[in-house]
């Protein structure tokens, strides 16, 4: 295997890597502190499109983790960037929370249920049957179907919750139209994030707790990949996949000295 360049930029997932059910994972604060002190470009990524970067900055700060707003990259931001590149100044019918609607407003999109260019499905804790019905009819009428991410379930203190991918499957069943998923594992989200911080894939690393999103996205974007075992993936799960991370570590604490 060809030797990789030294790691100059870091991308890391949030849930399962830095925090778990609202509690910081040991070593996360040290990792982030060393990143800030090193002046190396970095991003904290999440497929969750509910919150704006400002919201996430405040939530992490309450847990004792200091992540500047400009170092947070969400699937909602990646989706907005994609739409702005594809059809600047377009229109969309959006199902989601402030993280998605704010990102769309900031690129100059008009949110409407009258003949929109796109139906954009994001994460929300209160999916409305009326809103889903409207989305289905708009897609059948010609709107293009976009989804912020393919995650089928999300974490909660009570257990798994249905997430964007599950709801997208419902819409697909009703319309026969598959969405274009922008978030992980689509390398588009990773490459847009790397561009945002002026980083290059050959000298960047991705840290995640999921093989099917984090590791796959990093691999397909050409990055070095680290799998941590503090989230959804157990050691015995790794061999079920036809690809492997560059390295498996117990937690983010094991990577502090790599910065």
User: Residue holding tokens 């690809």?
Assistant: 243
In the block, tokens 């139906």 appear at 119
Contact predicate 225/248, CB 8 Å: no
Choose the catalytic residue: 15, 29, 117, 214. 15
Query: Contact at 8 Å (CB) between 134 and 93?
Result: yes
For the chain, give the longest Cα–Cα distance. 54
CA–CA dist 163, 197 (Å, integer): 29
User: Is 15 an active-site residue?
Assistant: yes
Distance CA 213, CA 216 (A): 5
Helices of type H across the chain: 28-38, 53-62, 75-86, 98-106, 129-140, 164-175, 187-196, 216-220
Residues 6+ apart with CB under 8 A from 193: 11, 43, 45, 73, 78
- Could you tell me which of 259, 252, 198 has the C-alpha nearest to residue 226? 252
Contacts 24+ apart (CB under 8 A), 241-247: 241/211, 241/212, 241/215, 243/211, 243/215, 243/216, 243/219, 244/215, 245/211, 245/215, 245/219, 246/4, 246/205
The residues carrying an active-site annotation are 13, 15
């Amino acid at each position: 295997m060809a030797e990789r360049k030294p790691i100059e930029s870091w991308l890391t997932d949030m849930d399962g890597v830095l925090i778990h059910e609202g509690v910081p994972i040991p070593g996360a604060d040290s990792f982030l502190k060393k990143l800030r002190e090193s002046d190396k470009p970095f991003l904290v990524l999440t497929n969750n499109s509910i919150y704006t970067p400002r919201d996430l900055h405040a939530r992490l700060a309450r847990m004792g983790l200091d992540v500047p707003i400009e170092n947070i990259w969400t699937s909602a931001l990646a989706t907005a960037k994609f739409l702005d590149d594809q059809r600047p100044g377009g229109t969309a019918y959006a199902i989601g929370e402030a993280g998605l609607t704010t990102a769309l407003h900031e690129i100059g999109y008009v949110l409407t249920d009258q003949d929109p260019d796109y139906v954009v499905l994001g994460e929300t804790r209160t999916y409305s049957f009326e809103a889903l019905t409207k989305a289905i009819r708009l897609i059948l009428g010609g709107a293009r179907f976009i989804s912020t991410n393919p995650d089928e379930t999300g974490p909660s203190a009570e257990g798994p919750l249905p997430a964007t991918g599950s709801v997208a499957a419902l819409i697909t069943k009703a319309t026969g139209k598959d969405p274009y998923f922008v978030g992980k594992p689509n390398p588009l989200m990773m490459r847009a994030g790397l561009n945002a911080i002026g980083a290059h894939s050959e000298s960047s690393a991705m840290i995640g707790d999921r093989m099917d999103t984090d590791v796959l996205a990093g691999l397909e974007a050409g990055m070095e990949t680290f799998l941590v075992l503090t989230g959804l993936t157990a050691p015995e799960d790794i061999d079920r996949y036809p690809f492997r991370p560059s390295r498996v570590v117990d937690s983010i604490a094991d990577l502090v000295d790599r910065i």
